[in-house]
Amino acid sequence: MTAQSIDRAPSFATWIAFCALCVGMFMAVLDVQVVVASLPTIGAALTIAPEKLSWIQTGYLIAEVVAIPLTGLLTRALGLRRLAVLSMAAFVVASIGCACSTTFVSLLFWRLLQGLAGGLLIPQVFAAGFVLFPGRGQALATTIAGVLAVLAPTVGPFVGGWITDSYTWPWLFLINIAPGAAAIAAASRFLAPEPAEPALLRQLDLTGICLMVAALACLEIALKEAPQTGWRSPFVMGLIVVTIGAGTLFVHRTWRAHHPIVDLRALVDAKFAFGCVLSFILGVGLYGSIYLMPLFLAFVRHHSAFEIGQTMMVMGAAQLIMAPVAVLAERHISARLLTVAGFALFALGLAASAFQTRTTDFDEMLVPQIIRGSAIMFCLLPPIRLALGHLAPEAVPNASGLFNVLRNLGGAIGLALIDTVLYGRTPEIAQRFGEALARGDVATAQRIGLPLERFLAHVPGTPVDPLVLAYVEAAVRRQAMVEAVNEAWLMLALLSLAGTLAVLCPRPAKPQA
C-alpha cells in the first residue's frame, strides 16, 4: 500500500459499506438488551416459567461467545463482503424465526442462531475500521463504531418496552428485517470483494467447538437446575462432571493446537490475564444488573414493559453521558487508578440496590442507576488499556477477541448465578415467613404488608377465609422475592468489589535486567 493510498480520503462508497456493517453491529448489540424489559411479557405469552426466562439472554450470550473467536478465520476464508452478507442474512432469518416462535424451545433455538450471527457481526465493524480506512477517516470510523456500540444497549430496554406495549412482542425481532435487508444490499453493492481462502475452513476445529459448547451448556444447566433438584442430585452431578471433563479437554486441545479457536496461550501474559478477569467480573455485574431490574419491576411492582424500559433508561443515559468523560480521563489519568475508581463505584451502585422494599420504584432506583451507569465506562476502557496496551500489534486481534469473549461469558454465568439465588432462596424465605406468621409474629406481618388489624383479629386455629389466605400467600411470595433479589444484588456488589481489591493488590516487581 502506497503513502498516496493511505492519505487518500475514503470514498462515498467506502462510507456506505462501513455504515452497512455498522447497522449489522447495531442490530446485534441492540438485540442483547431489546428483550430485557419485555422478558416477563414474552414469558406470559409463551407460558415460560420465570426461572427459565434468563435462557432468552443466556442462549444469545453463549452463542456470541462461540462465534466471536471464529470471526478472524472466517473473514480470511470467505472474505469480508461474503461473511458480512451471510451473517446479516442469518441474523435477519433468525429474527423472523424468533418472532414466529410459539414455544420456549423454538424461541431458544432461533435465539441461539441469532446470537451466532450477531457474534460474527460485532468484530467485523472494528476490523473494517482498519481495513477500509488505512489512513484518513480511521479515527472517525472507529469513533462511530464505538458510539453505536454504547448507544445500542443504552436505548435497548426503552425501545423494547415501547414496542411491546405499543404493538406486540414479536415486533422486537421483526424490526430487524428492513434495516437488515438494506444493510445486506449495501454491503453486497459497495463492499469491495476480497480474495477468499476457503481452504482455511479445514483449519476450523470442530471438535474444539463441540467441547467448548458442551462445557458451557452443561455449566449453565447445572447452575439453573441446582436450586430445584439440589447440588447432589445425580442429574446436576453428571452435568458438573461433563463440564469439568469437556472443559479440561477443550483447554488441553486448544493449548496445543496450531490453529486454536481461542488462543488461550495469550493468558500466559499476567497483565492480559488480569484484564480478562476484570472483563469477566464486569460481564457478571453488567448483564446481571440489567436482568434483575425487569424481574423486580414486573413481578413485584407489576409494571408494563414500557414502564420498565423507561425506568431502565436512566442507567443507559448516564453511561452515554459519561462515555466522553471516560475517554478524556483515560488520556490523562493512570489506567489502574481509573479501574479502581470504576469498579469501586460500580460496586457501590450495585450495593445501593440491595436494600429494596416492596414499594421501591423509579425514585428509589434513580441514584443507584446513575452510579452504575457512570461507572461502566471506567470499568471497560481502562482495563482494555491494562490488558492490551503492552501487547505487540500482531497479538492484539486475538487478545481483543478473547477479552470480549470473557465479558460475554461472565454475563452468561452471572445470569445463571442470579437464577440460583432467586429460585433457590425465594422458597426458603417464603417458608420462613409462613412459619413466623403461623406463630403470630407481628413484625413479619408488618414486613410483608399485611393489615395488622385483620392479622391480630384472627384467632389461631380457626379457619381462614380462602380470599384472605390467597392474599397472604401472594404477599409472602412477593416479599420473599424482594429479599432474594436483594441478596442477588449483594452478590453482584461483592464480586465487583473483589475486582476493586484485586486491582489494588501490588503487582509483583519485575526482575532487574
For residue 4, the model assigns a pLDDT of 41
Same domain, residue pair 487 and 499: yes
Same domain, residue pair 107 and 242: no
What tens digit of pLDDT does each residue of 312-340 get? 889 888 888 888 888 888 778 888 899 99
What tens digit of pLDDT does each residue of 202-247 get? 888 888 888 988 888 888 888 877 777 777 888 889 999 999 999 9
For residue 150, the model assigns a pLDDT of 65
Residue 261 resides in a domain: no
Across the range 29-44, mean pLDDT stands at 85
Residue 14 CA to residue 60 CA, distance in Å, equals: 31
- State yes or no: pLDDT of 463 exceeds 60: no
8 A C-beta contact, residue 21 and residue 124: yes
Query: Length of the chain in residues, anyone?
Result: 513
Instruction: Give the residue carrying C-alpha cell 459519561.
Output: 322
8 A C-beta contact, residue 236 and residue 225: yes
Residue 3 resides in a domain: no
Residue 506 CA to residue 513 CA, distance in Å, equals: 20
Q: Is 85 exposed, middle or buried (0-12, 13-18, 19+ CB in 10 A)?
A: buried
CA dihedral for 81, 87, 91, 93, sign (positive or negative): positive
Across the range 194-198, mean pLDDT stands at 79
Residue 120 CB contacts under 8 Å (≥ 6 apart), including other chains:
67, 68, 70, 71, 74, 83, 87
Residue 445 CA to residue 467 CA, distance in Å, equals: 17
Residue 248 resides in a domain: yes
Residue 2 resides in a domain: no
- State yes or no: pLDDT of 455 exceeds 70: no
What tens digit of pLDDT does each residue of 474-497 get? 888 999 999 999 999 999 999 999
Residue 150 resides in a domain: yes
Residue 59 CA to residue 416 CA, distance in Å, equals: 11
Same domain, residue pair 234 and 177: no
Same domain, residue pair 322 and 226: no
In degrees, rounded to 5, the angle at the alpha carbon of residue 253 between the alpha carbons of residues 248 and 258 is 155
Q: Is 135 exposed, middle or buried (0-12, 13-18, 19+ CB in 10 A)?
A: middle
Q: Is 166 exposed, middle or buried (0-12, 13-18, 19+ CB in 10 A)?
A: exposed
For residue 460, the model assigns a pLDDT of 58
The DSSP code for 10 is P
8 A C-beta contact, residue 54 and residue 183: no
Across the range 337-358, mean pLDDT stands at 93
Residue 263 resides in a domain: no
Q: Where does a domain end: 256, 291, 318?
A: 256
Residue 120 CA to residue 364 CA, distance in Å, equals: 39
- Greater pLDDT, 492 or 269: 492
Across the range 458-463, mean pLDDT stands at 53
Same domain, residue pair 169 and 244: no
Residue 24 CB contacts under 8 Å (≥ 6 apart), including other chains:
84, 87, 88, 91, 121, 124, 125, 180, 183, 187
8 A C-beta contact, residue 33 and residue 56: no
The DSSP H or E segment spanning 278 is: helix 270-299
Same domain, residue pair 104 and 213: no
Predicted confidence band at 135 (pLDDT cuts at 50, 70, 90)? low
8 A C-beta contact, residue 224 and residue 420: yes
Residue 511 resides in a domain: no
Same domain, residue pair 353 and 390: yes
Same domain, residue pair 236 and 309: no
- Quick one: cell of 150? 454504547
Same domain, residue pair 377 and 467: yes
Residue 90 resides in a domain: yes
Same domain, residue pair 312 and 450: yes
Residue 221 φ/ψ, nearest 5 degrees? -65, -40
Residue 504 CA to residue 339 CA, distance in Å, equals: 10
The whole domain housing 252 covers: 206-256
Same domain, residue pair 332 and 230: no
For residue 513, the model assigns a pLDDT of 38
The reported pTM is 0.81
For residue 397, the model assigns a pLDDT of 66
What CATH number does the domain containing 383 carry? Answer: 1.20.1250.20
Question: Which residue, 119, 61, 66, 65, is CA-closest to 90?
Answer: 119
Same domain, residue pair 212 and 199: no
Question: Which residue, 45, 492, 71, is CA-closest to 285?
Answer: 492
In degrees, rounded to 5, the angle at the alpha carbon of residue 36 between the alpha carbons of residues 30 and 41 is 125
Residue 42 CA to residue 35 CA, distance in Å, equals: 9
- State yes or no: pLDDT of 511 exceeds 80: no
Q: Per the structure, how many domains does the chain have? A: 3
